[in-house]
């Protein structure tokens, strides 16, 4: 259970893990449901600076287009982020020991 608590204490604070997102440049927390993100996105043949406003309740006409782009981008990014978070938690735990 201590390990779960350690993980939750890390991932529940966006400022701790946001810089670990692959291509991360910056983020700003607007409220508990919205944030803005800027990162360098690599979507195959091109790299582009991307700025997004994330609203976890948002829907709209751009959804299908964005979803098709993210379908390939998110799995790789998620894997890279999960590995970076695990490494950072392990580094932090080693420092405290």
- Predicted confidence (pLDDT) per residue in 20-29, tens digit: 888 889 999 9
CA dihedral 57, 36, 33, 56 (to 10 degrees): 20
Note whether 49 and 40 are within 8 A (CB). yes
**7-65 pLDDT tens trace:** 778 877 888 888 888 888 999 999 877 888 888 877 667 777 878 787 765 456 666 66
**Sequence ranges of the domains in the chain:** 2-96
Residues 6+ away with beta carbon under 8 Å from 44: 72
């Amino acid at each position: 259970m201590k390990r779960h608590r350690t993980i939750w204490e890390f991932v529940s604070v966006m400022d701790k893990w946001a810089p670990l997102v692959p291509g991360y440049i910056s983020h700003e927390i607007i409220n508990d449901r919205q944030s803005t993100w800027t990162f360098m996105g690599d979507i195959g043949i091109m790299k582009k600076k991307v700025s997004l406003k994330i609203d976890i309740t948002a829907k709209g006409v751009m959804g299908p287009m964005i979803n098709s782009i993210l379908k390939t981008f998110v799995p790789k990014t998620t894997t890279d982020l999960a590995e970076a978070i695990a490494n950072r938690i392990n580094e932090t735990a080693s420092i405290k020991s």
